[in-house]
Amino acid sequence: MATIREVAKACGVSTATVSHVLNGRFERVGEETRARVLSTMRKMGYRPPPMEEGQKAINTRNLGFMAEDLSYSPIFTNSYFAYVLDGILEAAGLQGWSTTIFIQRMWHANIGQAIRRNYDGRCDGLLLMAPAFESETVNLLHERGVPMVMIGATSWLKGISSVDIDNSATASAATNYLIERGHRRIGYIAAGNLSISSREREEGYRQALSAAGLEARPDWVFSRWNLRDQWPDGLVDAFMEMPVAERPTAFVGWNDVLASQVVAALAARGIAVPKDVSIVSIDDGPEASKCIPPLTTFRQPLQLIGKRSVELLIDHIGDGGRFAETVRFSTHVVERQSVSTIRNP
């Protein structure tokens, strides 16, 4: 693999200039020079060594797994993270690779230097857990030519593979599940516009309603991001303020966690699921079966998603010219007790 001196020579700049680019000191480097250095790094497959000055980088057989925030016992409280990570660790271990976990939130203060300090030389590529749309960290890593695979998100950048379910199709199926049971006023419980999968699921929800000739009212879409500190009580407040004849009779939930929180908040106000309002969700994590009543949900193959992402990333590391792939797994409904049928809607 190339050294920093070889990159500098190929660009016709000093090693200090290359260092400025690596550390995000963009005020010291012109935009044209920066672009030329980054392009050369990608072409030459340059990756700074982890420790020693002048050491040539070699494959570490270590993958990085980056999540936005791992606070509050993620293994025990976030089933999506836990099951995907389980698949990642199994697939990586079977191929003789190790895994390093990074917390993207800790890099926000100075992203350029944080990438150099925390990532460079420590692993050969990154698995990105549901990155926020147009994440600056992801954009900077992509500029450097870091092999990456997105999990639970569709890439907005050319050349990055992604592994997920078909979010739009799944949300359409969930919406149609409610329509088939007589529901005509259907809302959506969203995560927010920065969540790529939430946006795709909202699109599928709207498409299903439109195909059935039904209305998708703006006030029937509730975002956790918009409500923030008022979540999920803000949703229940807005729901109860609507005239009964204009309330949604059912909701499609972005995931089981949000849906189960809404069920609990509704129950605290005396609104029963599914007697007063039905809810169908997506994931089929432990939250779905533990919810009271248990949630009808569309099951994701989370461990398979983790395993496939590892296979793709290792393939990309071994073949830098490999085309990006978009892998989408199918889902299926798991029926429980959170949906009622409306007769003669």
Going from N- to C-terminal start, the domains of the chain cover 4-37, 62-165+302-329, 167-301
Q: What is the dihedral of CA 127, 128, 129, 132, to 10 degrees?
A: -170
Which CATH code for domain 62-165+302-329?
A: 3.40.50.2300
DSSP string of 277-319, one letter each residue:
-EEEEEE--HHHHHSSSPPEEEEP-HHHHHHHHHHHHHHHHH-
Per-residue pLDDT at 51:
47
pLDDT over threshold 80, residue 49: no
What are 154-186's pLDDT values in tens digits?
999 988 999 999 999 999 999 999 999 999 999
pLDDT over threshold 60, residue 58: no
Of 150-159, 259-268, 303-312, the range with the lowest mean pLDDT is 150-159
Separation of alpha carbons 256 and 18, rounded Å: 46
Alpha-helix runs per DSSP H in the chain:
4-11, 15-22, 31-44, 74-77, 79-94, 111-118, 136-143, 167-180, 196-211, 224-227, 233-241, 256-268, 286-290, 302-318
Per-residue pLDDT at 73:
72
Query: So what's the architecture of 167-301 in CATH?
Result: 3-Layer(aba) Sandwich (3.40)
Per-residue pLDDT at 320:
72
pLDDT over threshold 60, residue 57: no
| Those residues with Cβ within 8 angstroms of residue 181's Cβ, 6 or more apart along the chain or in another chain | 278, 339, 340, 341, 342
pLDDT over threshold 80, residue 271: yes
What are 106-132's pLDDT values in tens digits?
665 566 666 666 666 678 899 999 998
pLDDT over threshold 50, residue 93: yes
Per-residue pLDDT at 114:
65
pLDDT over threshold 60, residue 54: no
Per-residue pLDDT at 152:
95
Per-residue pLDDT at 111:
65
Mean pLDDT score of the chain: 89
**Is the whole model's pTM more than 0.85, yes or no?**
no
DSSP 120: T
Q: 3-class DSSP state for residue 65?
A: strand
What are 227-255's pLDDT values in tens digits?
888 999 999 999 999 999 999 999 999 99
pLDDT over threshold 70, residue 3: yes
**Is it true that 62-165+302-329 and 167-301 share their CATH fold?**
yes
